[in-house]
A and B are shown apart, each in its own frame.
Chain A
Amino acid sequence: QMSQKNMTDYFKAK
């Protein structure tokens, strides 16, 4: 089973 990471934090961390 694989899940997809929410990328909000990644793109908010400038």
Chain B
Amino acid sequence: MFEAKLQQGVIFKKIVDAIKDLVKSVNIDASTSGLSMQAMDSAHVALVSLKLNENGFKDYRCDRPITLGLSIENLSKILKCAGNDDTITLQTDEEEPSSLKFFFENQQASKISEFSLNLMSLDSESLGIPDTDYSSVIQMSSAEFSRICKELSSISETVEIETSKESVKFSVQGDIGAGSITVKNNQSDKDVDRVDLQIDQPVKLTFALRYLNMFNKAVSLSSTVSLNMSEENPLMVEYKIDDLGSLRFYLAPKISD
């Protein structure tokens, strides 16, 4: 028996919205400790990693580990039928399920929707994310990071991110010209202004803005985002989801030929 009930179903809707342009089909692994998912995009330059802890669910039960192979597009179609205030319950009784049941219930418990999504058998890539001590960690407003990426992507396809002890600089060079936005360390009480820099070693790395803009679809999951960088390692962009877990995106840096 597997059952997971989310009090705020809208979070699950937001997660699926945030990853659906990046990955088409995924294996979600359910275990006693919660749900996890890892998948690379088709170009194999980005990786999505989702972890949802059992404690974050209203009810959670998973008697034995199971793998749920899902089409994200089809999952998204079913989740469109859930209201933003609904609870969402995932359920299956089978050991090797061929479908996953969904129950959506509104706050008054006056409307209950039930769907089943056919599952797919997907080759699971055995991906492992190496433990990395990032030499530059930036925590800032997710909306602000999203705005910077969106603005700069009209000038260039790539952005160079350079850290120093005091600031982080986002630079672009394009056919029409060049520019940069520098954000300084700021210990404001307001989330929207706060910028936390933990810089052991400054880094200078270049990334494709197209991917960063896709990651930023997760902006509504968290008011802050953390950018974790080390030379020659993929960038790790993390959105923490309150008590529930985290959604992480990894992106390979652009390298000079």
Contact = CB atoms under 8 A, between A and B. Distances in A.
A5 B257 contact: no
Given A2-B158, A2-B206, A12-B126, A7 B255 contact: no
Nearest to B126: A12
Contacts of B40: 7-8, 11
A12 to B, nearest CB: 7
A4 B252 contact: yes
A14 B128 CA distance: 5
Given A7-B45, A7-B234, A2 B130 contact: no
B44 A2 contact: no
A14 to B, nearest CB: 3
A7 B44 contact: yes
Name the interface size band of chain B: 20 to 34
A6 B40 CA distance: 10
Given A7-B44, A7-B250, A11-B128, A2 B234 contact: no
Nearest to A13: B130
B45 A5 contact: yes
A6 B46 CA distance: 9
B108 interface: no
Interface residues of A, number: 13
A8 B127 CA distance: 8
B109 interface: no
Contacts of A4: 43, 45, 208, 252, 254-255
Nearest to B207: A4
Given A2-B206, A4-B208, A11 B257 contact: no
Nearest to A1: B257
B110 interface: no
Interface in B227-257: 234, 250, 252-257
B252 A2 contact: no
Contacts of A5: 45, 252-253, 255
20 contacts: A2-B206, A2-B255, A3-B255, A4-B43, A4-B255, A5-B45, A6-B45, A6-B252, A7-B40, A7-B234, A7-B250, A7-B252, A8-B44, A11-B127, A11-B250, A12-B126, A12-B128, A13-B128, A14-B128, A14-B130
Rank and list the top 5 A-B pairs by shortest CB-CB distance, nearest first: A14-B128, A2-B254, A11-B127, A5-B252, A7-B252
